[in-house]
Amino acid sequence: ISSTTTVMGNGIVSKSMSALMSGTFKAQEETNLANLKKTIESNSKDYMTGLD
In a structure prediction context, what are the per-residue pLDDT tens digits for the chain, which is 52 residues long?
666 767 677 788 777 777 777 788 888 888 988 999 999 999 888 888 877 6
Which pLDDT belongs to residue 42?
93
Rounded to an integer, what distance in angstroms lies between the CA atom of residue 52 and that of residue 45? 17
CB 15 within 8 A of CB 9: yes
Which pLDDT belongs to residue 38?
92
Backbone angles phi, psi at 49, to 5 degrees: -60, 130
Rounded to an integer, what distance in angstroms lies between the CA atom of residue 19 and that of residue 23? 8
DSSP structure class, residue 47:
T
Rounded to an integer, what distance in angstroms lies between the CA atom of residue 3 and that of residue 6? 10
Which pLDDT belongs to residue 52?
63
